[in-house]
Amino acid sequence: MNIQDYTVTRTSNAIRVAAILGFIVLVALIAAPYWAGRADLRLMGELFLYLALASLWNLMAGYAGLVSVGQQAFVGFGGYMLFALTMFAGLHPIPAIGTAGLLGALISVPVAFLIFRLRGAYFAIGTWVIAEVFRLSFAQISSLGGGSGSSLPIAIVKSLAGSRGARESLSYWLALGAAVLVVTSVYVFLRSRKGLALTAIRDNELAAGSLGIDIWRTKFVVYVVTSALTAMIGALIFLQKLRISPDAAFSVNDWTAFVIFIVVIGGIGTIEGPIIGTLVFFALRETLADLGTIYLLVLGVVAIVVMLKFPKGVWGFIRQRFDLQIFPLAYRVARRDNKGA
Amino acid sequence: MDWLNAIVQGTLLGGLYALFAAGLSLIFGVMRLVNIAHGDLIVLGAYLGLTVTTATGLHPLLALFLIVPAMGLIGYALQRGMLNQTLGSDLLPPLLVTFGLSVILQNGLLELYTADPQKLDAGSLETASVTVGGLSLGVLPVLTFFVALAVIGGLQWMFYKTPLGRAFRAVSDNQDIAQLMGLNRRHIFGLAMALALGVTAIAGILLGIRTSFDPSIGGGRLIFGFEAVIIGGLGNLWGTLVGGIILGIAQTIGAKIDPGWQLLAGHIAFLVILAVRPNGLFPRTTE
């Protein structure tokens, strides 16, 4: 039992296998427009956008302790910016998506200065007030259709791609790209120095502060980056829908309640959780959606039961049971020579 | 005169918002719980009022004698059966569980009562008015305001002058020591939630007489109550009343400028106060 016999590593065989499988799945997904039907493509596109929203919410709530019930503010803001930039500034939709993200970051700075004054649960409701302010403000802008909203002009839709098939493929790839971008950024961020600070804050805010981590600043950076990316996802969502209205854009049910369910069911505070949660959520939705309100009742009950009985969600359970990690954040001690183990 | 009228009407409206807020303030004060489903519970109170008045033909205000105890029982059961399990140092479980509860209440009400707007029938009380110094005041808003004064005065008295209030303050200060002194905090929390939902029932009935309601309006009522609490300052019940009044006045003045600005003006007033006085106007506790 020499210390030289051991090594500190982040990888394991399971992670290597998962990485290879993940790569194969990703290639298959990129090729989906060539093998999947139109309806499946739309469903998968929606799934990827929800995965991106859930990963972002998880970064805020699960790691930075910023529990927001007002992320619809940035989804709607991004959507409206896409419409405004393409209709009034004549921008092509794809650069408009990026610009919407930048504007989302800009607007989130004063918002953060205001609502960071609220602690804990009051912060959560404060974010909701902000979303309401956004909704009511956009409902006042008559050039964007006021309270009844507006549709994206056909010329702008056509500027994306000539044929309908090409447009749907492009919109699918954008959604897939957004999900991959968000999950990868969250992963890379959490492995960085700032990410380590964030994990420390999650585990114990007081101790992290005493080690010299600037808590306010770390949370602020997370909030601004999350808002920017959420605004980009919002722009993508409404590029798919082609129609926007204040009630749809700033819907607390669509953009926050469902996202929270996904994260809670999948496992909050893990990268894998939102992925599992999104799959569970869409499986439930596709099988139960015909039941209408009953489906939402079931979702509410499932979320409460999971929160009370399995607070770490599905992935937390798996990780505890099998000591498995697909996105390696933690280090582990392993024997140098695996044959001896 | 128009502006004076807007201010007076806004003050009276503030009474209703203070009633929305009182239950929220009470449970936050006792157990540091912020109930996201609070607005939906207000709406539940209104729907219970609808069922009782249509089934028995009682006047909505008389129906309060049935609905306040009923909501109190619901509150006690909710706290003992579910919410007590979420309390601890972690902030997430109570938040997410009450969020789930909000979704359940909203869709449950939708399933039972449909999305059609409903209203409580209070007969002549709805339209009666008195003229005071040239201003025409609705009897219902005036009544609501005095009910708010009575409820907040009653809660204040209960908190500082009764054994129950002492128990509330004790568990609020230190749960473990209160437990050692022979208080069962689970029971005390249950009583606090029962009391809070009793107040919520009053708010719900008065809301239902004043305007039409449907299952989706809970979130908006939660936000008004929350804004009143923050404007007034955490843990200060009279401050909450002032917060409600400020919110009410901001809304009526906003509506006077442009009807589309009513809600926005209230939210902006809240954000301005948050920017200038982060702890509210009359803070009593710091978290």
Residue B13 covered by a domain:
yes
Contact flag B95-A124 (C-beta cutoff 8 Å): yes
**Least confident among A118-122, A135-139, A275-279, B227-231:** A118-122
Question: Could B267 and A136 be called an inter-chain contact, meaning their C-beta atoms sit closer than 8 Å?
Answer: yes
Look at A143-147, A238-242, A310-314, A320-324 and tell me which has the smallest mean pLDDT. A320-324
> CA B172 to CA B284: how far, in whole Å?
13
Burial A251-275 (b: 16+ CB within 10 A, else e): bbebbbbbbbbbbbbbbbbbbbbbb
Instruction: State the nearest Cα–Cα gap between A147 and chain B, in angstroms.
Output: 10
Q: Contacts of residue B220 in chain A, CB cutoff 8 Å?
A: 132
Quote the CA–CA distance of B259 and A147 in Å, as a whole number: 13
Residue B284 forms part of a structural domain: no
Does any CB of chain A come closer than 8 Å to the CB of residue B96? Answer: yes
> Which of B103, B240, B247 has the most A C-beta neighbours within 10 Å, making it the best mutation to test the interface with A?
B103
Predicted TM-score (pTM) of the model is: 0.88
- Domains: count for chain B: 1
Q: Would you say B286 and B279 are in contact if contact means Cβ atoms under 8 Å apart?
A: yes
Nearest beta carbon to residue B110 from set A61, A122, A293: A293
Predicted confidence pLDDT, tens digits, chain B (287 residues): 788 888 999 999 999 999 999 999 898 888 888 888 999 999 999 999 999 999 998 999 999 999 999 999 999 999 999 998 888 777 788 888 998 999 999 999 999 998 899 998 888 888 888 888 888 888 999 999 999 999 999 999 998 999 999 999 888 888 888 888 888 889 999 999 999 999 999 999 999 999 999 999 998 899 999 999 989 888 788 899 999 999 999 999 999 888 888 899 999 999 998 888 888 888 775 44
In-domain check, residue B282: no
Residue B286 maps to a domain: no
Question: What pLDDT was estimated at residue A118?
Answer: 84
What is the amino acid identity at position A177?
G
With contact defined as beta carbons under 8 Å apart, do A66 and A222 qualify? yes
Backbone phi and psi for residue A89, each to the nearest 5 degrees, phi listed first: -95, -5
Question: Is pLDDT larger for residue B19 or for residue A327?
Answer: B19
pLDDT classification of A1: cutoffs 50, 70, 90? low
Query: Which CATH number goes with the domain that contains B42?
Result: 1.10.3470
Tell whether B283 is covered by a domain: no
Residue B285 lies in a domain: no
The pLDDT assigned to A284 comes to 87
Least confident range of A138-147, A170-179, A329-338, B211-220: A329-338
Greatest CA separation for chain A: 75
CB A75 within 8 Å of CB A231: yes
What is the domain extent for residue B255? 2-276
Domain contains B281: no
Of B103, B267, B278, which has the smallest distance from its Cβ to A257's Cβ? Answer: B103
CA distance A33 to B216: 39
CA distance to A93, B53, B243, per residue, from A77 (Å): 15, 43, 29
pLDDT for position B29: 84
Interface test with A, best of B96, B111, B277 (most A CBs within 10 A): B96
pLDDT for residue B222? 92
Number of helical (H) and strand (E) elements in chain B, helices listed first: 11, 2
**Percent share of chain A, pLDDT over 90:** 35
The runs of H, that is alpha helices, within chain A are: 13-30, 32-35, 38-58, 72-87, 93-115, 120-140, 154-160, 164-191, 193-203, 205-210, 215-241, 246-249, 252, 258-266, 272-288, 293-309, 313-322
Of B85, B97, B287, the CB nearest to A119: B287
Q: Is B111 on the interface with A (CB under 8 A)?
A: yes
C-alpha–C-alpha distance, residues A39 and A58, integer Å: 28
Stretch A214-232: mean pLDDT: 93
**3 state SS of A258:** helix
Distance from CA of B27 to the nearest CA of A (A): 13
Question: Which pLDDT score, from 0 to 100, does residue A339 have?
Answer: 47
pLDDT surpasses 50 at A340: no
Kindly state whether residue B87 falls inside one of the protein's structural domains: yes
Could you tell me which residues of chain A have a Cβ less than 8 Å from any Cβ in chain B?
A: 61, 65, 67, 69, 114-115, 117-122, 124-126, 128-129, 132-133, 136-137, 139-140, 252-253, 257, 260, 264, 268, 293-294, 296-297, 299-301, 303-304, 307-308, 311
Burial class of residue B182, CB neighbours in 10 A (0-12, 13-18, 19+): exposed
